């Protein structure tokens, strides 16, 4: 099958799914009410709860969920061939991932914007609340560590991407003030910001690639910043975490929301260029359709379903849906567009990544020996070795080079095309990182409330703990110096992420049975996302971590697996008792927040 046919059929499938299955869930299962009182109105505080147009919320939500996951995951999984990866992305995103994101968003909308951890406490029992919050804490700590390092590595490999990523910050603040303080319209500022960001890409590629060694305070003998990647990665990671602290405590409209909105346009333009480039270039698939002959690779079952997380289904998305997005939607009926629709767009991104890696690379790459390769020879420059040979640089590079080849078919110089794709990857990762910091702050505040640790309920204390724990894990010393050790957490990311999705489905099942709603469509994905990640985790602990004497990963894996088993047992014990029994009512609002008509969106449900 040709690459254009794959793209057309995939995109058409997503559109059909949104207008059929997505509409069925919205109207028949969740029965979204346009007149329901939503948390952004009921709890409006101008900081976290801010009523926002659905187009802006979509931008925030999509860029937050679509980090490097739908890029790195498919880029690795195509080792087993392009067909298994494509099928999992299509089936997973439509019937599992989008349902997971949509369901988590609806539950939070009808629980005053509570995160999935607090919702679990009401839907199952109070012990499950603490268990889920602890799992969320471990999961988000890994996310902060991994994504902080990933962006730092991207900055070090592609210094041309740095300028555009940071230019977005002052532009976002200006847009936030313009819209929320002066009631300005979005059209002209959006166009202007988009032009400036792409101008920054051009300047970064041809005139101002930024490396830490170029900065006056960083340059000079003995600093080590021009001697290798390690020190530069450490400093970039620290800078990024400092930014995340600020972004987490500022009102959402000041930086986080407008930055995601601006970045969403930049990213959509890059995706559009990829699609048009694909249609013009019509590259041939050079990757195998299916193979298990990959040196050093784990078994395709269950690891295909763990390697491709974002792009098919991701537990992290339930945190975004319930942590930030539910606090911004203006109407319940916007939930299908944002929750279900954004996941399908992420699936479309994953399809493009598969085609870029499996066909775009074949258009030509320069090998390490300086020779220019095409076709299968170009593919083998990235995928011809063992599973272990493909480090983070190669995983990201396979998509960057393959995608740039497709964009270059439009007549864009290959250097600029590489800059566009590199910025796209860095922006996706950055929006995930700052959102994850804010989510970790919410989780720690809820843990402080649940465990009666009063200081932890303070947003400054909680944010400090979030940044410090994530940074400490990221900067674990490794073979290549400080910072490289944090990348050993990558194998855990996929398993923990998918386990989290399974547990979110468990909570969604309780929501449905307590409200006498059909839940048959939840059972298969719930079982799948509880069994496969547990299988993968056990395999990693027994076959990889223990033989390598990597006791940190052994301890983390056993801890998360134990919490999951405990939570499942709690759920099974409560299952029959919960049928048709409404959850515990939400506590009464303070008088200042108790305004607005009573509705399903505003009362305990």
500-559 pLDDT, tens digit each: 999 999 999 999 999 999 999 999 999 999 999 999 999 999 998 899 888 888 998 899
Please, are residues 501 and 100 in contact by the beta-carbon 8 Å criterion?
Answer: yes
User: What is the CATH code for 3-367+396-433+465-593?
Assistant: 1.20.1740
Percent of the chain scored above 90 by pLDDT?
Answer: 57
pLDDT band of 591, cuts 50, 70, 90: low
Residue 172, pLDDT above cutoff 50 = yes
Whether the pLDDT of residue 259 is over 80: the answer is: yes
pLDDT at 508: 96
Cis peptide before 302 (omega within 30 of 0): yes
559-585: average pLDDT: 89
Both structure tokens of 194:
């988009």
pLDDT at 390: 78
pLDDT score for 491: 66
Longest dimension (CA), the chain: 71
With cut-offs at 50, 70 and 90, classify the pLDDT of residue 213: low
Of residues 420, 157, 393, 144, the one with CA closest to residue 273: 420
pLDDT of residue 1: 66
Tokens at residue 276, please?
Answer: 């048009």
Among 47-51, 215-219, 310-314, 479-483, the range scoring the smallest mean pLDDT is 215-219
Check pLDDT > 50 for residue 596.
no
Above 60 in pLDDT, residue 578? yes
How far is the C-alpha of 135 from the C-alpha of 118, rounded, in Å?
Answer: 13
Q: What is the pLDDT of residue 234?
A: 82
What is the SS3 assignment for 365? strand
Structural element, H or E, at residue 176: helix 162-182
pLDDT computed for residue 484 by the predictor: 57
- Name residues whose C-beta falls within 8 Å of residue 564's C-beta, 6 or more positions apart in sequence: 135, 499, 502, 503, 530, 534
What is the average per-residue pLDDT within 116-136?
89
Angle at 300 between CA 295 and CA 302, to 5 degrees: 140
Q: For the chain, give the mean pLDDT.
A: 87
User: By C-alpha distance, which of 389, 398, 397 is closest to 295?
Assistant: 389
On the question of pLDDT at 603 being above 60, the answer is no
Cα–Cα nearest to 161, from 197, 195, 204, 196 = 204
pLDDT band at 216 (very low <50, low <70, confident <90, very high): very low
Say how far apart CA 335 and CA 101 lie, in whole Å: 10
* E strand spans, 245-356: none
Q: How confident is the model at residue 600 (pLDDT cuts 50, 70, 90)?
A: very low
Is residue 100 within 8 A of residue 313, CB to CB? The reply is yes
- Asked whether residue 170 carries a pLDDT value surpassing 70, the answer given is yes
pLDDT at 183: 82
User: Alpha-carbon distance 362 to 285, whole Å?
Assistant: 8
The CA distance from 380 to 361, in Å, is 9
Which helix (H) or strand (E) is 552 found in, with range? helix 551-578
| C-beta atoms surrounding 534 within 10 Å | 20
C-alpha to C-alpha distance for 115 and 39, rounded to whole angstroms: 12
| Tens of pLDDT, residues 87-102 | 999 999 999 999 999 9
Better-scored residue on pLDDT, 412 or 591: 412
Q: Torsion over CA of 230, 235, 236 and 237, rounded to 10 degrees?
A: 90
Task: Examine the pLDDT at 222 and tell me if it is beyond 80.
Answer: no
pLDDT at 227: 40
* Least confident piece of the model among 164-168, 568-572, 590-594: 590-594
Query: How high is the pLDDT of residue 487?
Result: 63
Report in angstroms the alpha-carbon separations of 4 from 12, 123, 288, 311, 405.
12, 45, 17, 19, 15
The answer for residues whose C-beta is within 8 angstroms of residue 460's C-beta and 6 or more apart is 249
Distances (CA, A) of 501 to 258, 308, 454: 28, 13, 29
Write 296-300 long-range contacts (CB < 8 A, 24+): 296/386, 296/387, 296/388, 296/389, 297/79, 297/80, 297/386, 297/387, 298/387, 298/536, 298/539, 298/540, 298/543, 298/544, 299/539, 300/80, 300/84
CA-to-CA separations, 450 to 119, 130, 251, 338, 510, in angstroms, rounded = 13, 7, 25, 30, 21
**What are the helix and strand counts (H, E) for the chain?**
24, 4
Nearest residue to 59 via CA among 239, 209, 224, 266: 266
Q: What is the model's pLDDT at position 207?
A: 92
Whether the CB-CB separation of 437 and 244 falls below 8 Å is answered with yes
Mean pLDDT of the 52-68 span: 89
Domain assignments of the chain as residue spans, ordered by start = 3-367+396-433+465-593
Tokens, residue 513? 């049975």
Condensed to tens digits (0 to 9), the pLDDT of residues 433-472 reads 888 899 999 999 999 998 999 999 999 999 999 999 998 8
CB 214 within 8 A of CB 226: no
Assess whether pLDDT exceeds 70 at residue 488: no
Q: Which two tokens stand for residue 465?
A: 């703990």
Residue 530: the pLDDT is: 93
Any idea what DSSP says for residue 373? Answer: E
As to burial, measured by CB atoms within 10 angstroms (0-12 exposed, 13-18 middle, 19+ buried), residue 231 is buried
User: By mean pLDDT, which of 196-210, 254-268, 355-369, 460-474 is the weakest?
Assistant: 254-268
What's the pLDDT at 47?
Answer: 84
Instruction: pLDDT band for 473, please (50, 70, 90 cuts).
Output: confident
The pLDDT of residue 485 = 56
* pTM of the complete model: 0.90
Q: How far apart are the first and last CA of the chain?
A: 48
CA atoms within 13 A on the CB side of 133: 24
In the predicted structure, residue 253 carries a pLDDT above the cut 60: yes
What average pLDDT does range 317-323 have in this prediction? 93
> Looking at the predicted structure, is the pLDDT value of residue 386 above 90?
no
């Amino acid at each position: 099958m040709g690459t254009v046919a794959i793209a057309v059929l995939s995109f058409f499938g997503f559109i059909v799914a949104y207008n059929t299955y997505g509409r069925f869930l919205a109207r028949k299962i969740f029965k979204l009410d346009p007149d329901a009182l939503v948390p952004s109105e009921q709890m409006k505080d101008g900081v976290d709860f801010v009523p926002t147009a659905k187009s802006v919320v979509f931008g925030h939500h999509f860029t937050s969920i679509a980090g490097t996951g739908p890029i790195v995951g498919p880029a690795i999984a195509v080792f087993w061939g392009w067909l298994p990866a494509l099928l999992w992305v299509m089936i997973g995103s439509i019937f599992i991932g989008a349902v997971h994101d949509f369901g988590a968003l609806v539950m939070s909308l009808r629980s005053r914007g509570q995160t999935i951890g607090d919702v679990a406490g009401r839907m199952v029992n109070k012990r499950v609340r603490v268990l889920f919050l602890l799992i969320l804490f471990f999961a988000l700590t890994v996310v902060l560590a991994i994504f902080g390092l990933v962006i730092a590595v991207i900055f070090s490999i592609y210094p041309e991407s740095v300028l555009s990523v940071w230019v977005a910050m002052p532009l976002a603040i200006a847009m936030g003030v313009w819209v929320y303080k002066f009631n300005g319209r979005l059209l002209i500022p959006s166009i202007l910001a988009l032009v400036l960001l792409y101008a920054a890409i051009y300047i970064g590629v041809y005139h101002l690639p930024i490396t830490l060694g170029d900065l006056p305070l960083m340059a000079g003998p003995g600093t080590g910043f021009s001697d290798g990647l390690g020190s530069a990665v450490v400093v970039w990671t620290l800078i990024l975490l400092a930014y995340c602290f600020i972004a987490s405590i500022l009102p959402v409209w000041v930086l986080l929301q407008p930055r995601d909105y601006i970045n969403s346009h930049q990213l959509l333009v890059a995706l559009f260029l990829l699609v048009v480039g694909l249609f013009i270039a019509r590259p041939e698939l050079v990757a195998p359709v299916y193979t298990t002959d990959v040196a050093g690779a784990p078994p395709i079952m269950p690891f295909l379903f763990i390697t491709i997380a974002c792009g098919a289904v991701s537990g992290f998305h339930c945190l975004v849906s319930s942590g930030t997005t539910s606090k911004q939607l203006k109407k319940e009926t916007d939930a299908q567009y944002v929750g279900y629709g954004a996941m399908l767009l992420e699936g479309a991104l994953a399809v493009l990544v598969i085609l870029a890696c499996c066909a775009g690379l074949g258009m030509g790459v320069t090998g390490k020996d300086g020779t220019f390769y095409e076709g299968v020879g170009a593919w083998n420059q990235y995928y011809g070795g063992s599973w272990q040979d493909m480090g983070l640089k190669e995983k990201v590079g396979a998509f960057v080079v393959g995608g740039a080849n497709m964009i270059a078919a439009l007549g864009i110089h290959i250097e600029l095309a590489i800059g566009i794709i590199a910025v796209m990857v860095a922006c996706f990762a950055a929006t995930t990182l700052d959102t994850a910091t804010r989510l970790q702050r919410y989780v720690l505040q809820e843990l402080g409330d649940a465990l009666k640790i009063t200081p932890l309920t303070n947003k400054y204390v909680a944010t400090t703990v979030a940044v410090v724990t994530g940074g400490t894990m990221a900067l674990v010393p490794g073979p290549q110096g400080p910072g490289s050790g944090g990348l050993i957490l990558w194998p855990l990311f996929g398993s923990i992420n998918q386990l989290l999705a399974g547990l979110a489905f468990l909570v969604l099942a309780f929501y449905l049975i307590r409200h006498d709603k059909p839940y048959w469509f939840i059972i298969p994905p719930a079982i799948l996302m509880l069994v496969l990640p547990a299988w993968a985790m056990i395999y990693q602990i027994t076959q990889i971590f223990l033989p390598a004497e990597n006791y940190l990963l052994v301890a983390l894996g056993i801890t998360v697996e134990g919490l999951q088993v405990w939570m499942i047992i709690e759920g099974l014990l409560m299952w029959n008792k919960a049928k048709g029994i409404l959850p515990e009512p939400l506590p009464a609002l303070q008088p200042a927040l108790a305004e607005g008509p009573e509705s399903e969106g505003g009362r305990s449900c």
